[in-house]
Chains A and B, each alone.
Chain A
């Protein structure tokens, strides 16, 4: 079984780029929520994975971000939790053919947990555990808990992953910059987050999504200062804008090359992309990585 040390021994590794915005580009009518593509258009999903692998991704993510029972319940798909997650892993593995590792993507439940909401911590834990067990059983190499906006929820998910038997678990949070610097919606800073996640046994920590390339480098820098855990960053290609009626993410593959250089010099271990990034961004990052190694 793959270990974090084995992963780290391979140098800086590339994750893939965006899944959600790549699915949107197909304009398919029957993929709401996006996890339905796993069942309705497996060939299209495989096409996305293949593009990223071809561009140089060493680790691809399953299309299971909203694949927890609670999240699927919102579209009355809760009873398909096993089918949807298993299909996602199968398709990712078919595309990877052993040439890339497969990370099981796990996103927030989308429901407030006590004391702020109705959902008990125990139910949140069990919901995460159920999805992660399915992902592991279907054969993912690692688990990535991502886009967290509350450290408490991230810790619940991390504990669930450990209990489910995950050997490598990463956690990323989304930060917004303001008067106090970078903070999650729940007020946690990158340095607080990484220290608490390390204490609870995360194998790597980082940041994804958010407002673009600059903020995420600041998050990585702050994390590096206080902690030696491996770091993953997956920025958005900026925020979407409408130009001549088209959705455009303004941070180009060229900008992504500069971003990659800065990430390398900060000592980041894993690099990838979130919303708006494409195989061209990954290709750009890959060209920088190959030159630097």
Chain B
């Protein structure tokens, strides 16, 4: 069996969200002695990359991304024990949270999964996060980037409070934002270091800020 074909098969399982097939296919490839990093890059990330692009282009919507993300999670679970030592993933650390007053986390969770799949370590601090919480968690984990999410127009304005809180504390970590009602102009107005229109753009943005191609 040609290995490229196997990778493509697994990649399609991710795209179609067949989580059990994806898990067993990943295990099979590992048992065959295939390099886990290759499985991740050539199959899983390729699949999630296509999912991200289709989502960006509105060819698919949140439900399809969620089932792909679940398939990705199942594969990653099988893969993780092998991703240690020289194979360890670490392009950088990203802190993610939904701001105070907002309980929505679909978007944030998608960003987390895409970042993890791309090789970032994600510290997810959940929803309803105050400026103090963002700051305390940042101090604890010393991440390379802080990402904030909001779905409501009533809560997106709190992002400015968080950015100002970090400024007052003289912490220069790049802060990026995302969420359905946001745009680049809003990001500029509140002094954010970047804006991602969707989870695909979010990964590109983090790569760019951290100078990773």
Q: Which of A's residues lie within 8 Å of B, judged by CB?
A: 20-21, 24, 32-34, 66, 71, 74-75, 110, 112, 115-116, 149-150, 176, 178-180, 183-187, 209, 211, 236, 239-243, 247, 275-276
Q: Are B58 and A275 in contact (CB under 8 A)?
A: no
Whether B153 lies near A187 (C-beta < 8 A) is no
Report yes or no: B58 in contact with A240, Cβ–Cβ below 8 A. no
Distance of A149 Cα from B152 Cα, bound (Å): 12
B83 within 8 A of A: no
Determine if A71 and B103 form an interchain contact, defined as CB atoms under 8 angstroms apart.
Answer: yes
Q: Check A179 against B57 for contact (C-beta < 8 Å).
A: yes
Q: Say whether, besides A20-B152, A183-B58, A116 and B66 are in contact (CB < 8 Å).
A: yes
Q: Is B168's CB within 8 Å of the partner chain A?
A: no
Question: In the bound complex, do residue A32 and residue B101 qualify as a contact, i.e. CB atoms below 8 Å apart?
Answer: yes
Contact call B153/A240, Cβ cutoff below 8 A? yes
Which of B39-47, B88-96, B154-162, B170-178 lies on the face that meets chain A? Answer: B154-162
Tell me the complex Cα distance, A243–B189, Å: 8
Are A179 and B106 interface neighbours, CB within 8 A?
no
| Residue from A149, A185, A276 in contact with B153 in the complex, judged by beta carbons closer than 8 Å | A276
CB-nearest residue of chain A to B104:
A110
Query: A-contacting residues of B (Cβ < 8 Å)?
Result: 57-64, 66-67, 100-101, 103-104, 106, 127-128, 152-154, 156-157, 160, 180-181, 183, 185-186, 189-190
17 A-B pairs within 8 Å (CB atoms) are namely A20-B152, A21-B153, A24-B154, A33-B101, A34-B101, A66-B103, A74-B103, A150-B62, A179-B59, A184-B61, A187-B60, A239-B153, A239-B186, A240-B153, A240-B186, A241-B185, A275-B154
Known: A187-B63, A241-B185. 19 other contacts (CB 8 A): A32-B100, A74-B128, A110-B103, A116-B63, A178-B58, A179-B57, A179-B59, A184-B61, A185-B61, A185-B62, A185-B180, A186-B63, A187-B61, A187-B64, A211-B181, A239-B181, A242-B189, A275-B153, A275-B154
Top 4 A-B pairs, shortest CB-CB distance:
A187-B61, A178-B58, A110-B103, A20-B154
Query: What is the CA–CA distance of A34 and B103 in the complex, to the nearest angstrom?
Result: 13
Residues of chain A within 8 A (CB-CB) of B128 are: 74-75
A-B contacts counted at CB < 8 A amount to: 74
Q: Is the CB of A240 within 8 A of B67?
A: no
Check A74 against B127 for contact (C-beta < 8 Å).
Answer: yes
In the complex, chain B residues whose CB is within 8 Å of the CB of A185: 61-62, 106, 180
Q: Given A20-B154, A112-B106, A178-B58, are A239 and B66 also a contact pair (CB < 8 Å)? A: no
Closest to B186 in A: A241
- Given the known A-B contacts A20-B152, A74-B103, are A242 and B190 also in contact in the complex, defined by CB atoms under 8 Å? yes
Nearest B residue (CB) for A177? B58
From the candidates A21, A74, A176, A242, name the one contacting B154 in the complex (CB within 8 A).
A21
Closest to B60 in A: A187
Docked Cα-Cα span, A150 to B106, in Å, equals 12
Closest Cβ of chain A to B156, distance in Å, is 7
Shortest Cβ gap from B141 to chain A (Å): 23
A66 to B104, CA, bound (A): 12
Expressed in whole angstroms, the minimum distance between the Cβ of B110 and any Cβ of chain A is 11
Tell me the bound Cα distance from A132 to B185 in angstroms: 39
Which residues does chain A contribute within 8 Å of B100, judged by CB atoms? 32
Nearest B residue to A111, CB-CB: B103
Instruction: Report the minimum CB–CB distance from B109 to chain A (whole Å).
Output: 9
Q: For residue A24, which residues in chain B have a CB less than 8 angstroms away from its CB?
A: 154
